[in-house]
Structures are given as structure tokens and as C-alpha cells.
Structure 1
Amino acid sequence: MFKTLLGALGAHTAEVETELFTPGAQPGQPVRGIIRMRCHDRPVRVKGVAAELITRAEREHDDGESLVDMAFARQPVFGPFELLPGYPLEGQFELVTPWETPITFYNGRHLHGTAVAVRTRVDVDGGFDATDTDPIGVGALPPQHVLLAAVETWGFELRHADVEVGRVDRIPHSLPFFQEIEFGPSPRFPTLNQLEVTFLADPHGMYVVIEVDKRALLFAPGRDVMDAIRVDFATFEQVDWVAVIGERLHSMS
């Protein structure tokens, strides 16, 4: 559906439509689509049109948290040009999802709290007009699926996921945010209140960061404990990940 550009272009002057050919992807895979533009009553000068991926992330402040839209991949589509009445313009694009893209689906379930979308940006005099945001599904990579299933095998129940602005200490990654997938407590690990998993992937493998919230005991206060595992995509099928996760959890608890 065409949407009217607002702001610097003036109402009812130009319209844009984005159609996705691939409504879903896995990290590292492309999302393809086409952007169409048209105008009605007068020419419009456009500096450029681009497609980008965005996600909504939590940013911490001294007085609480706020939600911000974070762009993390961008592909120019066309421009500069003059859009003339009666002469619509269209251009195809291909956005490669970064390996660290937050996932929104695992094992056929939506990860509530995480969303990823394609957003069209049109650069005109007076600034950007963001338009026509289209959500996409990002499915878990096979190794991510295996690791999450291993956590569930140990009795932790998947709750939700969110994206946080910031960096993970001592783990290399390129995006200015990271996803946390949260699980509720397991009866097999009574000293743990909850568990969070973060994936930081690259073309060859991924770091799996596990953070647990330990309950306060008689002579020990409650605290967070973190561990990290490096997974090699080429050899991950040769590893008993249920056993590996179990060993790490027993050590952390």
C-alpha cells in the first residue's frame, strides 16, 4: 500500500510503497524487496532512497529505561533524482541481515519482546522522512535452535526476549546492542532464579553468553553469574550440547 510522505515534502505530494519478496530470514541471509515511489501534483527532488533494518531496544538511564528504534543495516536503493508526476519510479534492494541480528522465532514460537523490520528512508531537503516500515521474521539458526533446546531440556521455561543497547563485556561483537532470551527457573537448579541467553554470531560460529541470577543463601548474597561458550558452526553437530549446557549450569549454580 502506498503511504504519503510527510514533513519536508508536504502532505499529499509524494508516496512510497515497500514490498518484501522475503518476509523472513535467518541471520546472515538476505531480505529482498522493491521500493516504489510516485508523486501527484508537482515534481519532488530526492537526494536518495535507502532500505534499512531496525529493531526496538531498551536504553538504560539514571532514572529508568526507554525504548529506541535502532537501525543496524542499510542499503542505498536509488538517487539522487527528480520524481515527476505521472512517472513512477521503482528499485529493488537486497539487505543482508547481520549475523548478530536478533531472532524473533524459535521452534515455531514467536519470541515476545523482540521485533525486527525493514524501514524505507527517503532523503529530501529538510531531513529524512522514514516511511513504510514492514516487520519481518528472523528465525533461529540451527546451532541457536540446538542451544536453546538444550536449555529447555534442563527444565528452564522460555519466557520472552528483549534487545538492550550496549556491549557485552569481553565478547567481540559489532552491533551496538544485544539480545537477551530469558528463561524462568528450573526445579533441577533451585539456586537459580532465572537464566538469560545471548547469541553473538559471525560467519564461522558464535559466542553463547549465559547469565544466571543466583538466589541469596544464608551466608551469601544473591548475584549474577556469567559464562560464555564458543560454538564452531562447522563442528557443532559433533557435540552433545545438552551435556555441555548441563555441566556449565551445575558449575554456575
Structure 2
Amino acid sequence: MVFKRLLGSLGVGGPTVETVLEDGAVLPGGTLRGEVRLAGGNASYDIDRVTLELVARAEAEHEEGESEGLVGFARYEVGGAFRLGEEDSYRVPFEVTLPWETPVTELHGEALGITLGVRTELEIAGARDKGDFDAFVVRPLAVQEAVLEAFGQLGFGFRSADLELGHINGSGQQLPFYQEIEIIPAPGYADRLNEIEVTFLAHAGGTEIVLEADGRGGTGVDDALNRHTVGHDEVAHTDWNTVVGGWVEQLAGRYAARGGRGGGDGHGSGMGTGAAVAVGAAGLAVGVAGGMVAAEVVDEVGDFFEGDEEG
């Protein structure tokens, strides 16, 4: 994965930068490797600093509606203090550690529609120039994959995944956004639940799992929420179907059963119950749409968005 562009702030004949990432997916908390390749222009330049910034496309809700934009969530200085001669070439290899909360972009090789990238920034004589970002792929940690696989085995389907700008109250969240994976209920819960939203907040010791259920109308109950923390060393010794099934029962128990099985009350998913079973049986096939988040579990968000023509 490569991007290459003329440094516009330096004009025609300036140096070019090309960032090449190592092939393959990376784990949250894992190491992203690659190198920045510089090619000199028609003059010599003193490179003060080479910086990498991790960015993500996230959504925000506000009084005017919704918007999205690129949000930076980690910066690394990987090189600098060297002279790039006329028509010279220079390479800056790097290894950077991703934050533990870095969102997952694929499940079992299926893209989730999450946009993450590395943006390379050069500082030359006090002037900065930002390049377009180069996308990278993040696969789930063992506990994340185990939980989602259990949902699939229990007959749940997957609707979408997105990044929401804001903070989940009472959590140990570190990044300015969180990932939300929206799951369609299995047939046995379709009379009580519209969907379950799953958020993973990983850290060095384990993962905090936040589950929020959107119940069907007429129950007089607000969206149900529960939280669970699992250590990384617990993954291989846990019956995840039983554990996740218990979590779902806690959520669904807040809602009274309705007369129909998966009736349409205007809040139905884009996938029927039968399709949800098929998706679950297949493991983790993923469909991508959009997502909303319950306002009561999220703080009001500030203006984190950077200047972005699409935001």
C-alpha cells in the first residue's frame, strides 16, 4: 500500500514522499511496520522531522444532525534532522505500536467499512506538509474474535460497524472515539430486541466489552446496558457460547416478550431473521450499513474533527 505525492507547499521540483506499509493485517496493540521513502527534488532540503499520524474516519452527532471527518488518534516521530540532497534518495524505516483500542477493520477477511490510515508529515525548515493517508488493516484480538464468533454461533447476524466520536461513560476508554458493531438478534430474541451494539475497549491486561440492547417499543424500558471485562489469558479456557448467551439473557430480560416473532415495528434491520440465522451459521459474514448510538451512554462530543473536505 503506497501513496506518493509532490509536496505542494514546496512547489514544482520539490522532494516527493512515498510511504510503504508492511503487508498483512495488524492486531490492536500490535506493531505497524514500514518505511518512508524520500526522493530529492531540484534543490537540497533540511528535513527537521518525519512524523506519522494515525487517523480514522468517525461520525459525530450534534444539534444540526450528523457529520463525519478524519480524527487523529496517535502520532509518532520516526525520523528527522537530516539533509536531503538534490535528487538524493533517503529511507526512514519505522516500527510503531498501535493503541490497544485501535478499531478492527475486518472480520474473517471481510471488510467492515472502517477507514483507518497513516498520514505522513514532513517538517522542512519549519514548514509542514501533510500527505494523504495510506490505509492499513486491523484484525481482531482473540477475545474479540471469540465473542463475535459466539454471537454468530448463537444465531445472531451482523448489520454494520462504525466509529462514533465521543466517550462511553464509566469506561476506561482512551481514544476520542469508539467502535460500535451492530448485531441483529437471533430468532429467539427478535420479539424483544431490535439489535445489540457491541463495543470492545482493549487494554494491556484484557478487554472491556460493552453491550447495549435496543429493545422493541412498548416496554417502558430504556436501552439496556451491561459491561464485562475479560483477560487476554482467559480466551482459550472459556465456553464463549455459554458466556455470551448469558450476557444476552441479562439484556433481553429487561424487555417483555411481544406477541410476534420478529414483528416489524418500524425499527427492523435491513436483514430478515432468516438471513440473520444464515449469517450466524456461516460464522462471521459481515454486512455494512450505518449506525446510531444511544445518547444516554455517550458524553456530548466536542469538535475533534480536523480540517477535512468531506467532514
How far apart are the structure 2 equivalents of 1:247 and 1:177? 28
Moved over 4 A (4+): none
How far apart are the structure 1 equivalents of 2:155 and 2:24? 33
Deviations 1:55-101 (A, max 9, x none): 11112221112112122222212223443212222110111111110
How far apart are the structure 2 equivalents of 1:73 and 1:199? 18
How far apart are the structure 1 equivalents of 2:214 and 2:132? 40
Matched residue count: 249
Once the 2 structures are TM-superposed, how far is the Cα of residue 115 of structure 1 from its aligned partner? 1.9
Partner residue, 2:157: 157
CA contact (8 A) 1:103 1:139 kept: yes
CA contact (8 A) 1:56 1:67 kept: yes
Partner residue, 1:3: 5
Partner residue, 1:175: 175
Higher relative contact order (CA 8 A, sep 6+): 2
Once the 2 structures are TM-superposed, how far is the Cα of residue 43 of structure 1 from its aligned partner? 2.6
Is structure 2 residue 146 aligned with structure 1 residue 146?
yes
Deviations 1:137-191 (A, max 9, x none): 1001111111001122232211221011111111112111110011123211121
Alignment of 1:34-113 (within 5 A): 34-112=35-113
How far apart are the structure 2 equivalents of 1:52 and 1:80? 19
Partner residue, 1:201: 202
Deviations 1:103-129 (A, max 9, x none): 0111232112x1222221112357532
How far apart are the structure 2 equivalents of 1:47 and 1:16? 14
Is structure 2 residue 160 aligned with structure 1 residue 121?
no
CA contact (8 A) 2:36 2:93 kept: yes
How far apart are the structure 1 equivalents of 2:18 and 2:109? 29
How far apart are the structure 2 equivalents of 1:11 and 1:221? 65
Once the 2 structures are TM-superposed, how far is the Cα of residue 134 of structure 1 from its aligned partner? 1.5
Identity over aligned residues, as a percent?
35
What TM-score do the two structures reach when normalised by structure 2?
0.75
Structure 1 residues 128 and 64, CA, compared in 2 at 3 Å: closer, same or farther? Answer: farther
Once the 2 structures are TM-superposed, how far is the Cα of residue 26 of structure 1 from its aligned partner? 0.8
- Aligned-pair Cα RMSD in Å: 1.8
Partner residue, 1:25: 26
How far apart are the structure 2 equivalents of 1:100 and 1:10? 38
How far apart are the structure 2 equivalents of 1:178 and 1:61? 17
Partner residue, 2:230: 231
CA contact (8 A) 1:16 1:132 kept: no
Structure 1 residues 2 and 63, CA, compared in 2 at 3 Å: closer, same or farther? Answer: closer
Which one-letter code corresponds to 2:7 in the other structure?
L
More strand by share: 1
Which one-letter code corresponds to 1:116 in the other structure?
L
SS across alignment from 2:87: coil
How far apart are the structure 2 equivalents of 1:10 and 1:45? 16
Structure 1 residues 208 and 86, CA, compared in 2 at 3 Å: closer, same or farther? Answer: same
CA contact (8 A) 1:58 1:65 kept: yes
Partner residue, 1:192: 193
Structure 2, unmatched stretches of 5+, are 253-311
Which one-letter code corresponds to 1:34 in the other structure?
E
Which one-letter code corresponds to 1:36 in the other structure?
R
Structure 1 residues 72 and 23, CA, compared in 2 at 3 Å: closer, same or farther? Answer: farther
Partner residue, 1:247: 246
SS across alignment from 1:235: helix
Which one-letter code corresponds to 1:233 in the other structure?
H
Partner residue, 1:137: 137
CA contact (8 A) 2:156 2:183 kept: yes
